[in-house]
Structures are given as C-alpha cells and as structure tokens.
Structure 1
C-alpha cells in the first residue's frame, strides 16, 4: 500500500487499487479457431499489434464447452521475443478429438491510456498503471492438489502420466497458460512436456505429462481468472 498517493480498499480492508502497484489489465481479447498447420489442428492468434514489454504477457484461454474432452497440445505457446510479442499458438493434443475453438484474454501488469474521461494513475517512472478505460483481470482460484491417475507408455517408450482435479468449468473463468506452455524439469535433462485436457462431461481437469524418465510428483498450480466486472 502506498504511503502517499491514491489507495482504495473494499469492505474487507483489502487493497483493490493503489497508486504504487499496477493491476493485471487486459491488452487484447478475442476468439481462437482452427487455422494453423496441416489439417488446421492448431490455432494461431496474431495480436492486433506487437506487445513491447520485456516480460511475457499473460495468456488466458477458455475452450468452448463440448460434449466430451478437449485435449490441448500446445496450451498457448507465445510467439515473438522480449519487446516484440506477436501472438500465440494453441493446438490439439496428438491431433485427436475436438479442434481448438474458444476465447482468450491477453493481459499484462500495467494499463493502457484509453479512457477519455475517468481516472488514470501513473507509476514513478511515468508508466500508466491504472486507467478506467482498461478492463482488469481478477485471479479467482488455483489448484495444485492434483490426483495421480495412471501412467501409460507412448510409441517411443515415453512415459505418459495423467493427473486430475475436479473442476466445474464456469464459462467466465480462463486458465493461465504461460506455465502450462513450458517444459518441466526432469532427471534426464530433457524435460517433460505438459498438456491440459478439459473433460466437460465428468467435470474434471487433466494435466498430462510426457517424458523419458518418470517422476510421479506433480505440483504445478493451475491458475484461473476472469474479467473484473
């Protein structure tokens, strides 16, 4: 909380706006659809303009509800480089099941100067950290109490581990994809691939790991957020 400046708290005395710290703000929103790669098994989203932050923007997705399991391969792999983030790719796992269709949010800690009227706050370096014309993103919950289900083997002998957590899949909650788009460390120094499956019928979220050595432990949190009303 700022010692000087503007600060708002709610009825629980929690800080909801402070002139010292940036909120997680929306940069872009939209839909993704199959348009990329052989057979259009992937979806490439190109941002309306490059994002020039050094740190990665945060990508949140919400696959369309289907009568089955949405198996995501690349959950949301960022395209570009620091200072020039241009988009992201999401795709089907092993080209199986439902094609990638859904909604996305791209967000960053910092506002855009959009509102013609209202309130705008700047940091000590002159960067906008709040603007009433920029929607905010609110984290809602996180899961890391994954239940190990089983291990299978792939065609090349790789281990495929399945973990689940109960989830009710609200329409307005989006999964933070950045952490699910990186390889996990492994004893073989090759790492494990990490994927997410959404079982809408059974109301279960899967984490699926693939690697050539087989540690059973899995602690990565799945974080969800929604647009702040």
Structure 2
C-alpha cells in the first residue's frame, strides 16, 4: 500500500487531481484522496501484481511516479519575461512560470472494451479484463481519481469492488483495467468517462 502525504494541505473544496505513471509495468487500485474539502492531505493507492495475467513482470518492483494538480490560483512572480493574467476581480488566473498540467485524450464516451485475459481465482473469483487505446507514450500519466477508486454496488453480496489497472509490461498502446467481481455474472466495467492522459508542463 502506498501512503503519500502532501508537503502541505491543499485548501480547495474540490479534491486535487492525482496522476500516476511508472517506469514500465503498473497495476494499482484502491485509490482515494485523504482529507476533506479545504484540507486535502494526501492519497493512498494499493499495488496489485498478478503473475497469472502479466508474467514475470508482475514480480518486479513497480516504480510508481505521481504528481498532483489542483484548482488553486497560481502564485509567484512572472519573472523578467513572463506574464500574469488576472480576472475582473483581480484574482490571478494564469502565470507563465506556473507548473501546469497538460491534459489530453478525454474520451467522449466510455472507450473501454472487453478484451484481454480475465483474472480468475479460488472461490469463483473473477475480474474481467477491459482495455482502452492509450497514447503510446511512456511520458503520459493517467488520472487516478475516478478510474482507480473503489465502486459501491448496492444490494449485492460484495458491495465494495476494487477497480485496478494501469500499464502492461512494455506496452503503452492500451490502458488495462480490471474490476473485482467475485463471479462471472454481470461483471461491471471501468469508468472511462472521467479519464485523462496528462503530463506536467515542467519536468518533475
């Protein structure tokens, strides 16, 4: 389990956006942002490794990278050659020296399709495999907030189900997702409507 604390709390009402990447193989889930509106303190995420589905790469240590983006007004000085933009009330909305998150690849609809090898186990465990075309770039991070959070399926024997997924060994042409289902009947699928690929404007 990865437990990350921000250097200082993030004071927005909205949860900050957490983007994840890895040197190669990455399979994570059970994600959530710690804290509460106005006082977000960090996040937690669990690593998954499944040799059954991903071979020897699943036994290797995952070198997870992350960065956080929020809706806070940018601070600092634009410097000698930069610019700063403010709205009608005088609040700064942009500064060229800020480290911005560059977003792309938001799908208009859920682009996940059922393909790949599901994960099966004892007592009827079943996690269906879904995949979505990805950017092909090892520099692109994936938005964790909704994609990798657990889902609550009310009125079932297993109401809390973990979404987990990420990048297959040596392959950035697809985003791989699974969801705990405990049996093969009416499996639920990953939420691709809130998905972004992203990279920081400045190196981190």
Match of 1:173 among 130, 135, 140: 140
Residue matched to 2:201: 228
Q: Which structure 2 residues correspond to residues 56-135 of structure 1 after superposition, within 5 A? A: 56-65=15-24, 69-74=25-30, 76-93=31-48, 97-117=59-79, 118-123=82-87, 127-135=91-99
Higher strand share: 1
TM-score by length of 2: 0.74
Equivalent residue for 2:167?
198
What is the alpha-carbon distance in structure 2 between the residues aligned to residue 156 and residue 183 of structure 1? 21
Q: Which moved more, 1:172-181 or 1:193-202?
A: 193-202
RMSD over equivalenced CA pairs, Å:
2.8
For 1:157, the equivalent position in structure 2 comes to 124
> Highest relative contact order (Cα 8 Å, sep 6+), 1 or 2?
2
Report how far residue 146 of structure 1 moved.
1.8
Tell me which residue corresponds to 2:180: 210
Offset, 1:103: 2.1
Distance in 1 separating the partners of 2:10 and 2:32 = 15
Aligned twin of 1:146: 112
Q: Secondary structure of 2:15's match?
A: coil
Deviation at 1:176, TM superposition (A): 0.5
- Work out the number of aligned pairs and report it: 184
Unpaired segments of 5 or more residues in structure 1? 1-41
When normalised by structure 1's length, the TM-score is 0.67
